[in-house]
Amino acid sequence: MRWVAGASGVALAIGIASIGFELGAVNAAAATAVGGEHQQSSATTATAKPADFQDISLAAQQAAPGLVDINADLGLQGAGSAGTGIVLTSDGKVLTNNHVVEGATDLSVTDIGTGQTYRATVLGYDRSEDVALLQLSGASDLPTAKIGNSGSVAVGDRVAGIGNAGGVGGAPSVSPGRVTALNQDITASDDAAGSAEQLHGLVQVAANIRPGDSGGALIDTAGEVIGMDTAASTGYRFQGLGSGGGVGFAIPIQQALSIAHDIETGQASGTVHIGPTALLGAAVSDGQGAGAVVRQVVAGTPAEQLGLAPGDVITTVNGRGIDSPTALTAAMDTSHPGDPVTVQWTDAYGQTRQGRASLIAGPVG
């Protein structure tokens, strides 16, 4: 879960792509986020009484079989992550957040409806929209989520976020609340990697969405999925637990499904990546506009083959200018394992160098 917006509208956020607080990950991503022009102050958020949400809790029980728990091994980081997914098809196509599976070298997915655990592959992802589509290996006859209409959602609607809160697995947690705003824009930055992303058009809710709920369902009183939980507030993470306290954000389900359709049908674009991720093998940080500064080179990767070393500054990839880690990530998202790559960089002595290598398969995203 990406943590966003506290009482002032600005807060420190922690990307649960590595759930450091739960699973001992050493690379949990720190992020800040700011609400968009439609942002409502948390002071206007009403605290709902538990009795108001008996029906939404029953709806959550009906919706639970259409979810999965996701556990990812972040092999190169020596860490683990956990999150939630929404089952779209009986043969195991699962919708989740990109940040749930980003960096994964192995994925284990447990279906709530059947209790069965499957290995999973990532069919594709859209980093800019924080959406990924998974395929469970050997899955069949899975209960699927009941999809609602996010276009009919209105401020004041009763909703609940359900998912794998805390990454503990088992019966999904239920966080009831109300819709407090629509069309929200947030910006989340990963201070560890020096990258940032903007998410648009989100549904804001007064509900205690928690780490591990990422990729889970935001449901209405009919138990229909109207959004995919993706971010929440640090300022309210422990207020009104289970009774609507907190500020959460969800991607409208039709918005997420449109991206999933592009992935399923192989429609790659400037933001949609189809298939395995290509790996260069250089961990980088922000060069303050000068490029992406190499912090570490992974042994046996194209980066090592090229001769990149810590302190070098990557400036172009295949002729495309690189002025930040985000730009490098965007360039890599257009590539696939086996593709040739030409990299230009400035070494520690200020000399411009260039090399060519073939990319290899790497962790997701």
The one catalytic residue among 130, 190, 213, 229 = 130
- Retrieve residue 133's tokens: 């589509």
The one catalytic residue among 99, 111, 150, 173 = 99
The set of long-range contacts for 279-285, using a CB threshold of 8 Å and a minimum separation of 24, is: 279/337, 279/359, 279/360, 279/361, 279/362, 279/363, 280/332, 280/341, 280/343, 280/359, 280/362, 281/360, 281/362, 282/308, 282/314, 283/193, 284/193, 284/194, 284/314, 284/325, 284/328, 285/193, 285/194, 285/325
Q: Is 262 a catalytic residue?
A: no
- DSSP labels for 43-98? GGPPPPPGGGGHHHHHHHHHHGGGEEEEEEEEGGGTEEEEEEEEE-STT-EEEE-H
- Determine phi and psi for 264, rounding to 5 degrees: -60, -35
Dihedral angle sign, alpha carbons of residues 123, 272, 104, 173: negative
Q: Is 214 a catalytic residue?
A: yes
The one catalytic residue among 81, 173, 195, 214 = 214
Q: Is 90 a catalytic residue?
A: no
Write down the number of H helices and E strands in the chain: 6, 24
Task: Please list the active-site residues.
Answer: 99, 130, 214
